[in-house]
Structure formats: structure tokens, C-alpha cells
Structure 1
Amino acid sequence: MGNLLGSWRFKEPSTVEECDSTWGSDSESDEPPASGDDSGISDCVSPAESERAAGDASPQLPESPESVPKMKRSFYAARDLYKYRHSYPNYRKSRQPNEYRNLRFYLNKIPLVPDGIYIEEILTKWRGDYDKLEHNHTYIQWLFPLREQGLNFYAHELTQEEIKEFQSTREAKRRFLAAYSLMLDFYGIKLLDKSGNVARAANWQERFQHLNESQHNYLRITRILKSLGELGYEAFKAPLVRVFLEESLCRDTLPNMQHSVLEYYVYTVRLPATRRRLLRYARQHYRPAHAFLWGPPPAKKRGGSGGTSAGAGSSGIRAPAPTPEQQRRGEEESPYASSGFLNVSTSYDATMCPPDLAPGAGLKKGCSSSSGMSGLEGALVMAGARGERNDYNEIVPL
């Protein structure tokens, strides 16, 4: 029996739909109530920015479905994020002995390999050195460890035992959050508070322009988001993903990031309810709207057993033809009438935080920004120790 259990492996999903339970059977439980005056459109920018943009706006011709190239979701991305959200169901022990090398690196006891650089040097001397952060490709696996191998084969994968030890070590968590702040600054973003709220930094224009053109950083951001969840800061993901959604879809400052944020960043979030909120916001502003691939599948829309043909976000299997009664109801009701779009303001300048996205994460609307990282360190470290990291530990489909 022992040998049988030892050789058992979890059967991995074979389709995108099997990887993605975001729009599962419980997907309507967090739908906001419909209101008569809800236009289904939220403000992406502040009123002042809207006025400025009005003078520059040029009319856009609507695109027909036939004029848009056929797209489909990446099975590779869906499977990768499925395994991450499910804690690597077929996880094998790392190739090296469990020496807690990631923890010892964060305790400043060993340098990263192969460069021989200690964590304190990175945190104190690399901040603002954007050329070094851009062109060095060995540090990111050490700063943001995972239970999977990265491009630096000298870096060690995390283990469950090391994760527990890391989360209970105050000094390691303090440096981890400092490393997160350092990378956010590199991307033109600043950390505001202990809940993980973020906003544009003072250098955002220059850094966003670079980030839009330097797309290898999108892989780094995926790793950073995964590592946040592994080391106890799951609640920090949604505010960062929300910023990238807004910048790429609404403000058009990071248009090249659209695919990465929808295909990867959203799906690092472990709570389905939080993913749904992010995707509803994205669907609200995605253009062309009919090309939105990330659900919900038409068959699982509220209001009955379908009758619509398969569309974006579905498996591509054609549903049965609608009956005359179903067709009449479909023509009378807008396809987005029951989609539950959030009608929220998303301004997140230096004095405002993003709206509440992560259940239980303590995000606040309109909260004041911090004056600097020095006053945040103690509170930030405690954020991982209090309860934020347990937001996704309830028994829910991932």
C-alpha cells in the first residue's frame, strides 16, 4: 500500500476550462445587486483627467467580430497558474537538500549565487539603480523564491518547511517587503500601507514607458505575485493587479501588458471571488468587448440553462440552438444586464487607495498614503503575521 500511495500522482487538467474554476457554481454568490440607475460603466480616471483627455480624444470606429483576429487563451498559462493555486499537487522534493538557503539569504547569512551579493547590499545600494535591476537576471529568483525552478539554476526552490520557517521569522519578512518595495519602485509604483495598497510613484511616467517596452519584466511580475502568496502576503496581490488592469485597459499607459495581466496576473490570485471581481472590472473596460476571453462562459450566465452558442472564454463547443422563447428573451435583455459589473471609482493617486478587492484584506477606499517606508516597516511585517495570508485557506475551489 505504501508503494501504491507513493507512486500516485494527481491527474492534471487537460483543457483551459478544467484549469479555471473562477466562474464555478458559486460564482453568483458575490454578485452585487442590480440597481436601476447603474450604467455598468465605472470611472477609470479622475474628473480632472477626464476633462483633459476629452480634448485629445478621437472617435474610434467600432470593430466587427469578423475584423478581429481569432484569439484563444493559453493552456500553458492556465495550467501553470492552476498548479500554483493548488499548491503544486504533484510537487516533488527540490533537487537540492533542504538547507533553508532562501531563508538564510534573507537573514543576510549567505550571498546569492553566482553573483556573491548579500541581500542588504541589494536593498541599500540597488534602489534607484534601474540599469542594474533591468540587466541583471540572477537576483530575481533569490528575492522572490518559489516552489518551482527559475532561470537561475543556482537558486533553490522553496519547500513547505522553509515557507513555514520564513513566515515566522520577522527579520526575513521585513527584508522581503523591502525587496517588494524596491521592485515596485523600479516599475514606477509605491507601496502605501500594510494592506498592500499601491499607487503611482513620482517617477511613474518614465518607468511605465520603460515597463511597456521591456516585456521580459512581465515574467518577473508573475514571479513576484506568486512569491507574495507563498510567503504570506496573498492580500497584496489584488491591489497590484488592479493597478495594472487600470493602467493597461483604462489609462493606456501599459497597453502591451494587457495580455499578461489577464492571462497571468489575475490568475495568481487564489480566491475565486477576488478573481471574479478583477475580471468583471477588466471586462467592463476591455475593447473590443466581444473579444474578451476570460469569462464567464455563456453557459454559466445567470438566468437559465444557456441557449447561446459558445463564445469568448468558453471551450468552443457549440451549444444547442435556442428555442424561439429563449431567443426572444435574449433579444430583450442586454448581454451585460446580469454580469454584475462593479461601479467603482478607481482613482489611486498619492492620497487615494484602490477600491476594496480582496475579501478580508482590509483594503479601504480613500485611505491616506504613508509618508515613507520607514514608518511602515513594523506594520508591514505584521501584515503577514496577522491574518492576511489566511484569506484563501478556507475550502473553496481554486
Structure 2
Amino acid sequence: MGNLVGSWRSKEPSTVEECDSTWGSDSESDGPAAEDDSGISESVSPVESERATGQSRDTSPQPTDSPEPTPKMKRSFYAARDLYKYRHSYPNYRKSRQPNEYRNLRFYMNKIPLVPDGIYIEEILTKWKGDYDKLEHNHTYIQWLFPLREQGLNFYAHELTQDEIKEFQSTREAKRRFVAAYSLMLDFYGIKLLDKSGKVSRASNWQGRFQHLNESHHNYLRITRILKSLGELGFEAFKAPLVQLFLEESLCNSTLPNMQHSVLEYFVYTIRLPATRRRLLRFARQHYKPPHAFLWGPPSKKPSGSSGVGLSSGIRAPAPTPEQRRREEESTTSVCSRIKVSSHDTIMCQDLAGAGPHGCPELQSNMSGQEWDKREG
């Protein structure tokens, strides 16, 4: 019995709509409840794997000379599933058999260096600030500064565990250095951390750094990791101010136009509170152009009572006579008594009728243009 319980795995969502509870009826109250539970993750997510192999494609509308309207783009299922797992604390995580060494916490306590570079956290915080070339081209430190419950491509870095997270959140010295590391990366992006509540603004160096960030797409993956790590280590409230700033700069001020899709497809969905996501997405919808191409609003509702089958021409057919009704019932009974349809055949018929792709993420997905090389993830 214990093995049966231990082997049970929760059903993973198979569509973008199942992954996204932002506009669902269960989240319309704008209450304080978050989505996460006590699960843990164990491996690289599908979206990160796609980024690592460079198989992503640009899904932004492209100019065309054809008079035909541009086809409507789709959200990335892999991105939606990746962020769903994060927000729900990786429900299908299998606990590692390796002993919990708290290596992320020990690194932040300045007791061990990051591997493979052999650099201690205090050296990074005191000597790397303003060294933008080092922060840009070194690809090993980011997973140590912002650990997650996912394994990235720096296999020397260790995944967080629930026990380590609890210990980290109760250790003042580690939390102080974590905020300093966050401030270090914000400065690299041209942003200033204003206070302990997480408010941010443009830094004095914003123009040059924004120009670099707009052209340096692999940093969008780093930002996704930073946002996730903030939530894991007790700084969930820091996310919304940063995402709000990126929405303003990318949609309103046009200083980060290349970041638009990443903000909406990834950054917003790292936020666990549905009410906060809705607020940010409502703001984005007001400023997104063209408005009809906005993909992240509430799903359109079908008119009640319409099934889309058996559309009428508006002319009512005459009611059948009692004799005609009796003959139809006899005919139906005769046919049904000779035909047996298995559940498998029923599914096949649905597939032939066009229902198949709904259960196949590979046919539904359209990878976003910002799923980049996973050197930092």
C-alpha cells in the first residue's frame, strides 16, 4: 500500500488554459491565497530544455506584403507549464536520495565558494559591482546567487530543498547577502533597489544598461531565474515592482521593446498571487499594441447555449408526425443493436473530428521567441 501511495503522481496540465489560473473562477475574489503548496521539483523543465537546445522560434508577428491578415499567435505551452510547476511548488517532485548539505545556505554564509570558480559570496558582493563585463560573460555564478528547486546546466550548483529554504529564511545573514546580490544584479540591468519593500526605479546608469539589456536576450532567462528565486527564499513581494517596471519600460517607454514577450510570457507568471498577475496584465493590456494581438487577457467566453454543432439557417423545419417519429426510433434502435463502439474507437473518432490536438502539447505549442540558450538557467 505504501508503494502505491508513494508512486502516485499528480496529473500534469496539458493545455495553456489548465496551466493558467490567473483568470479562473477560483481566483476572481482577489483574495490573499497563493497557488503554491509544499511540493518540490527535481529536474530541468521542458521549457528550459528547449532554451538549452536553441530550438525556440520567434513568435512575434512579422511584417508581410500579403493582404491576408497576420495569423494569431499562440502562447507557449512549455512556458505555461514551467511556470505552473514553479507556482505550485513542483507537485511531482521526487525527493533526492543525496544527503541535504545546505550548500546554498553555506555559500551565502561565506563558508564555501561557488564551484567551479572558487569565489566566495563576499568577493562577488564587494568586487563585482559595476564590473559589467564580468557579470555579463561569466555564466557560473548566477545559479549560486539565485538557487532554485530545479537543476540547471551548472551541475556544480545544488538544487534547493524545502528544509534548506526554511533554514535560509530564518538566517538573517544569508537574507542580507541575498538582498545585496539582488541589488548587484539590478545595478547591472540599470535599476536601483529603493527600499526593503522591493520598490525599484531607474538607476543613474539606466540608458546604457537598458540598451544593453534590450539587445542581450540571454539575460531574460537570468531575470526569470532571479524572480523565481526571490519567491523561493521569502521575497515574493519583490517581484511585482520589478515586473511593473519592465512592463512600463517595454510597453510604454519603448526603452526595452525586445523584452515585451518575455515579461508577459514569463516574468508575470512567476508571481504566485493571481490577483497581482491580473493587475499587471490589465495594465499591460491597456498599453499593448496592436490591442487585438494581446494573448494574456481573460479567455473569451462562448455564448451560453451555443455548442457550435448543427448551426441553423433560421428556417424552422416542420415537426415530424407521430408515424415519422415512430419509424425513426425503430431505425435507431435497430442500428444501435448491431454496432458496438469501444472507448478507444470513440477517442479515435474524436481525433478525426478535430479534437486530437487538444490533448497533445506538441501540436498545440508555439515556442516563444525569448526561450534562449540556457547557459544561466
Letter in 1 for 2:242: L
Higher relative contact order (CA 8 A, sep 6+): 2
Which residue of the partner structure matches residue 300 of structure 2?
298
- Please point out which of 146, 149, 161 is paired with 1:147: 149
Q: CA deviation at 1:319?
A: 9.7
Letter in 2 for 1:149: Q
User: What is the RMSD computed on CA atoms of the aligned residues?
Assistant: 2.6
Which residue of the partner structure matches residue 6 of structure 1?
6
Q: Is the 8 A contact 2:23 2:278 kept in 1?
A: yes
Q: Is the 8 A contact 2:30 2:274 kept in 1?
A: no
Q: CA deviation at 1:202?
A: 0.3
Separation in structure 2 between the aligned mates of residue 187 and residue 249 of structure 1, nearest angstrom: 17
Q: CA deviation at 1:320?
A: 9.8
Which residue of the partner structure matches residue 239 of structure 2?
237
Please give the secondary structure, in 2, of the residue aligned with 1:299.
coil
Which residue of the partner structure matches residue 25 of structure 2?
25
Q: CA deviation at 1:94?
A: 3.8
Q: CA deviation at 1:95?
A: 6.6
Q: CA deviation at 1:150?
A: 1.1
Aligned pair 1:180/2:182, yes or no? yes
Separation in structure 2 between the aligned mates of residue 167 and residue 112 of structure 1, nearest angstrom: 20
Q: Is the 8 A contact 1:96 1:156 kept in 2?
A: no
Letter in 2 for 1:153: F
Which residue of the partner structure matches residue 262 of structure 1?
264
Which residue of the partner structure matches residue 336 of structure 1?
none
Separation in structure 2 between the aligned mates of residue 204 and residue 223 of structure 1, nearest angstrom: 21
Please give the secondary structure, in 1, of the residue aligned with 2:164.
helix
Which residue of the partner structure matches residue 107 of structure 1?
109
Which residue of the partner structure matches residue 37 of structure 1?
none
Which residue of the partner structure matches residue 135 of structure 2?
133
Aligned pair 1:196/2:201, yes or no? no
Separation in structure 2 between the aligned mates of residue 320 and residue 245 of structure 1, nearest angstrom: 44
Matches within 5 A, 1:11-160: 11-30=11-30, 66-94=68-96, 96-160=98-162
Identity among equivalent positions (%) equals 87
- Please point out which of 279, 282, 292 is paired with 2:281: 279
Separation in structure 2 between the aligned mates of residue 276 and residue 202 of structure 1, nearest angstrom: 31
Q: Is the 8 A contact 1:228 1:237 kept in 2?
A: yes
Separation in structure 2 between the aligned mates of residue 161 and residue 77 of structure 1, nearest angstrom: 27
Which residue of the partner structure matches residue 208 of structure 1?
210
Letter in 1 for 2:170: S
Which residue of the partner structure matches residue 365 of structure 1?
none
Separation in structure 2 between the aligned mates of residue 206 and residue 321 of structure 1, nearest angstrom: 58
Letter in 2 for 1:279: L
Separation in structure 2 between the aligned mates of residue 18 and residue 94 of structure 1, nearest angstrom: 28
Taking structure 2 as the reference length, the TM-score comes to 0.71
Separation in structure 2 between the aligned mates of residue 233 and residue 65 of structure 1, nearest angstrom: 49
Which residue of the partner structure matches residue 345 of structure 2?
none
Structure 1 residues 4 and 285, CA, compared in 2 at 3 Å: closer, same or farther? same
Q: CA deviation at 1:169?
A: 0.2
Separation in structure 1 between the aligned mates of residue 18 and residue 6 of structure 2, nearest angstrom: 25
Separation in structure 2 between the aligned mates of residue 236 and residue 306 of structure 1, nearest angstrom: 44
Equivalent residue pairs, number: 282
Normalized per residue, which structure has more helix? 2
Which residue of the partner structure matches residue 165 of structure 1?
167
Separation in structure 1 between the aligned mates of residue 11 and residue 263 of structure 2, nearest angstrom: 27
Please give the secondary structure, in 1, of the residue aligned with 2:25.
coil
Separation in structure 1 between the aligned mates of residue 162 and residue 87 of structure 2, nearest angstrom: 14
Structure 1 residues 165 and 287, CA, compared in 2 at 3 Å: closer, same or farther? same
Letter in 1 for 2:173: E
Separation in structure 2 between the aligned mates of residue 192 and residue 20 of structure 1, nearest angstrom: 31
Please give the secondary structure, in 1, of the residue aligned with 2:160.
coil
Decide which structure has the larger Cα Rg and report it: 2
Separation in structure 2 between the aligned mates of residue 222 and residue 89 of structure 1, nearest angstrom: 20
Deviations 1:371-396 (A, max 9, x none): xxxxxxxxxxxxxxxxxxxxxxxxxx
Deviations 1:139-159 (A, max 9, x none): 000000000011211000000
Separation in structure 1 between the aligned mates of residue 212 and residue 146 of structure 2, nearest angstrom: 22
Structure 1 residues 321 and 24, CA, compared in 2 at 3 Å: closer, same or farther? farther
Structure 1 residues 107 and 260, CA, compared in 2 at 3 Å: closer, same or farther? same
Q: Is the 8 A contact 2:108 2:177 kept in 1?
A: yes
Question: Which deviates more, 17-26 or 153-162?
Answer: 17-26
Matches within 5 A, 1:218-233: 218-233=220-235
Q: Is the 8 A contact 2:150 2:159 kept in 1?
A: yes
Q: Segments of 4+ in structure 1 off by > 6 A? A: 317-324
Q: Is the 8 A contact 1:188 1:203 kept in 2?
A: yes
Letter in 1 for 2:279: R
Please give the secondary structure, in 2, of the residue aligned with 1:199.
strand
Structure 1 residues 322 and 196, CA, compared in 2 at 3 Å: closer, same or farther? farther
Separation in structure 2 between the aligned mates of residue 306 and residue 189 of structure 1, nearest angstrom: 51
Deviations 1:299-326 (A, max 9, x none): 18xxx7497xxxxxxxxx97998999xx
- Specify every segment of 5 or more residues in structure 2 that has no aligned partner in the other structure, as ranges: 32-65, 315-377
Q: Is the 8 A contact 1:145 1:157 kept in 2?
A: yes
